[in-house]
Amino acid sequence: MIRVLPPEIVAQIAAGEVVGRPASVIKELVENSIDAGAREIRIEVADGGKRMMRVADDGCGIPAAEVELAFQRHATSKLASAEDLNRIATLGFRGEALASIAAVSRVICATRAAEEETGTLIRLEGGEVVSRRPIGRPPGTTVTVEDIFYNVPARRKFLRSSATERRHIDAWITRYAMAYPTLRFALVHDGREVFRSPGTGRMRDVLVAVYGVEVGSALLEIPPEEGATVRVEGFVSPPYFHRADRGEITLFVNGRWVQDARLTYAVIQAYHTLIPTGRYPLAVVMVTLPPEDVDVNVHPAKAEVRFRDGDGVFRAVQRAVRQAVTEEAGVPRMQAISGPAPPAHPPELRFPEAPRGEPVRPTPMPMLVPPVAPAARLPVLRVIGQVAATYIIAEGPDGLYLIDQHAAHERVLYERMMAQRSGGIPVQSLLEPVAVDLPPEWAGLVEAHQETLHRLGVEVEPFGGNTFLIRALPVALTSAHPRDVLTEVAQGLAEEGGEARRQQNGGAAEEEIERAIIRRVCKQGAIKAGQVLSREEMEELLRALERCENPRTCPHGRPTMIHISTAQLAREFQR
């Protein structure tokens, strides 16, 4: 039998779209405080938010006549017409947050509008007002939320441990502290202040408060491009330290924290060939564009957005991050030649005054210290010799350089082939075509990208089933076996090309697929470890590396060299 649900059940169902856990409540209340023009926001939490959450601000407050109205569903001061949805400039706008929070908890709201002499205190349980009275208080609003999901036990039992819920809250507060560095945030857990942002207006000061001095001061600033429609700014990690997952890539669009797979991929792509495959940067990226060019009304939680020109925003983010990284990238320097090895598990960073044994944001430290200098180019190097037929020893203005000959040659070939794409990559025809059998999934990719391969100098044609004939290869690969080349390229299409297709559309995806093919081609064509080189060959390789735009990493992100300074040598010899 079909029936209309009672209003209280409808409210609880709707609340599930907005209030998933205590951190969701904190997010919505903090966003309301920011929209209210607050300069100071204090967040207090007990038992990971399961027992109590309180957000207090010094914003504009709620007029006494509108306090009850603020807790009704779809009541908002931020929209007046449907046209306003096309140019949303506030964090909140749906008019659902307070109603959803009140529907599944006990709420106390104390507020006073700046133009009124007295404030108002209102209590609600399960969305129903149970009391109201005037109070004296300064302008602003304090919302206290107790016993979340007390009336929805099925939801409450799915909450995680207090420590887990606490970490989610920590993540939200630190994100908004970074996005709004002019505001002063204070976070208190179980009576103990664990985080405070300085409110100086400088994002780096907040980053130091979040990640510690060593990491916060090492991050590279993204300089905004003046006059750009899509403005990109923020901070990113230098290539010499990186993370095991994407969790430290934080994105904001018009001041709103968002989850966007394409923009995350744009940041990752900016590091391509600069950090190892499978590693990810730390990044805080702020994207600002006209409100009418972005749709934030995609999901009730407002964590997803849709762009009018998604490809344009992708390119702007990738270009800005890449520029910041390549301009500041340096040569990794060894910490010591002898002495104890670095720890197997780097230390964790903690918030100031974090309780013992409970790191708020564990962050692995880099194994390499900051670069020798932020210069984009290498100094002139003098060849001394070769070690283990793998590493070239060279002398520079400030000590010794150990160069991985395979990684260095990969970088040289990669930049050479990238530069040759427009004019045509030199090709060497094979005396006899070579037949190569590929797995079915790889064969389909090679056939689909046959034209791209041909443009990059790998001339192949189907020969029935999953077999291909290789008729020509780039001149740089004359020493490589054709079968190895095609196998490597096919694997690159399956791995790197698949990721590019998932995250991008059209020309952007094709561009990255070309890069993936070239990276794999260069891997096969580069000098191998164990290959003895003459002095002339080593010198020629170093001169070519010095001319590269990004000489410090191979196309797959491994370092091409390690630097040992003259000062380090003196210390080791106790001079």
At residue 10, the pLDDT reads: 54
At residue 348, the pLDDT reads: 33
316 and 414 belong to one structural domain: no
Instruction: Pinpoint the alpha helices (H) of 36-89.
Output: 67-70
Q: Of the given ranges (307-316, 363-372, 432-441, 477-486), which has the lowest mean pLDDT?
A: 363-372
At residue 89, the pLDDT reads: 54
Q: Of the given ranges (176-185, 221-230, 310-319), which has the lowest mean pLDDT?
A: 221-230
Helix (H, G, I), strand (E, B) or coil at 279: coil
Closest C-alpha to 284, from 242, 233, 328, 240: 233
Q: At residue 45, does pLDDT exceed 90?
A: yes
CA dihedral 502, 505, 508, 510 (to 10 degrees): 80
254 and 158 belong to one structural domain: no
Name the residue with tokens 């409450």. 156
- Is 533 inside a domain boundary? yes
Which residues in 434-452 are b (16+ Cβ under 10 Å) and which e?
Answer: bebebeeebbebbeebbeb
Note every long-range contact of 349-352, with CB atoms under 8 Å and residues 24 or more positions apart, other chains counting.
349/211, 349/212, 349/215, 350/212, 351/170, 351/194, 351/195, 351/210, 352/194, 352/195, 352/196, 352/209
- Is 431 inside a domain boundary? yes
At residue 341, the pLDDT reads: 38
Whole-number mean pLDDT of the chain?
82
- Is 208 inside a domain boundary? no
Backbone angles phi, psi at 496, to 5 degrees: -70, -40
Q: Of the given ranges (74-88, 288-302, 407-421, 450-464), which has the lowest mean pLDDT?
A: 74-88
Q: 392: burial class by Cβ within 10 Å (0-12, 13-18, 19+)?
A: buried
pLDDT in tens, 409-421: 999 999 988 888 8
Q: At residue 456, does pLDDT exceed 70?
A: yes
244 and 302 belong to one structural domain: yes
- Is 518 inside a domain boundary? yes
Average pLDDT over residues 122-127: 94
At residue 372, the pLDDT reads: 37
**Which of 286, 313, 328 is the endpoint of a domain?**
328
Residue 294 pLDDT class (50, 70, 90 cuts): confident
Please state, in angstroms and rounded to a whole number, the distance separating the CA atoms of residues 364 and 242.
8
**Which of 328, 356, 372 is the endpoint of a domain?**
328
- Is 436 inside a domain boundary? yes
pLDDT in tens, 169-194: 998 999 999 999 999 999 999 999 98
- Percent over 70 (pLDDT), the chain: 81
33 and 167 belong to one structural domain: yes
* DSSP character string of 284-341: EEEEE--GGGEE-TTSTT----EETTHHHHHHHHHHHHHHHHHHH----B-S-SSSSP
Residues recorded for the chain: 575
CB 189 within 8 A of CB 166: yes
Closest C-alpha to 496, from 482, 510, 483, 477: 510
- Is 345 inside a domain boundary? no
134 and 234 belong to one structural domain: no
* Domain extent at residue 35: 7-196
pLDDT in tens, 145-163: 999 999 888 888 888 888 8
Q: At residue 427, does pLDDT exceed 70?
A: yes
Helix (H, G, I), strand (E, B) or coil at 122: strand
Residue 211 pLDDT class (50, 70, 90 cuts): confident
At residue 375, the pLDDT reads: 61
pLDDT in tens, 319-339: 999 999 887 655 555 544 343
**Which of 285, 313, 328 is the endpoint of a domain?**
328
β-strand pairing of 391-396 with 427-437: unpaired
At residue 88, the pLDDT reads: 55
Closest C-alpha to 302, from 339, 259, 334: 259
256 and 401 belong to one structural domain: no
CB 513 within 8 A of CB 497: yes
At residue 534, the pLDDT reads: 92
At residue 350, the pLDDT reads: 32
At residue 244, the pLDDT reads: 74
Please state, in angstroms and rounded to a whole number, the distance separating the CA atoms of residues 213 and 231.
27
pLDDT in tens, 471-493: 998 887 777 888 888 888 888 78
CB atoms within 10 A of CB 74: 10
Residue 221 pLDDT class (50, 70, 90 cuts): very high
At residue 222, the pLDDT reads: 94
CB 289 within 8 A of CB 242: no
Average pLDDT over residues 268-282: 85
Q: Cα–chain-centroid distance for residue 501?
A: 19
At residue 14, the pLDDT reads: 52
387 and 308 belong to one structural domain: no
177 and 281 belong to one structural domain: no
Q: At residue 304, does pLDDT exceed 80?
A: no
CATH number at residue 119: 3.30.565.10
80 and 168 belong to one structural domain: yes
125 and 22 belong to one structural domain: yes
At residue 368, the pLDDT reads: 35
Average pLDDT over residues 274-294: 88
pLDDT in tens, 363-400: 333 333 333 333 656 888 999 999 998 999 999 888 99
What is the total count of domains within the chain?
3
Average pLDDT over residues 105-129: 95
82 and 190 belong to one structural domain: yes
Average pLDDT over residues 358-365: 36
Give whichever of 43-57, 266-280, 441-455 has the largest mean pLDDT.
43-57
At residue 110, the pLDDT reads: 97
CB 55 within 8 A of CB 97: no
Instruction: Pinpoint the alpha helices (H) of 439-480.
Output: 440-448, 450-455
Which residues in 17-30 are b (16+ Cβ under 10 Å) and which e?
Answer: ebbbbbbbbbbbbb
CATH number at residue 513: 3.30.1370.100
Average pLDDT over residues 537-545: 93
Residue 506 pLDDT class (50, 70, 90 cuts): low
CB 330 within 8 A of CB 374: yes
Residue 314 pLDDT class (50, 70, 90 cuts): very high
CATH number at residue 228: 3.30.230.10
Please state, in angstroms and rounded to a whole number, the distance separating the CA atoms of residues 121 and 114.
15
Q: At residue 265, does pLDDT exceed 70?
A: yes
191 and 44 belong to one structural domain: yes
Q: At residue 74, does pLDDT exceed 80?
A: no
- Is 301 inside a domain boundary? yes
- Is 534 inside a domain boundary? yes
Q: Cα–chain-centroid distance for residue 17?
A: 25
Paired tokens of 485: 């080349």
Q: 388: burial class by Cβ within 10 Å (0-12, 13-18, 19+)?
A: exposed
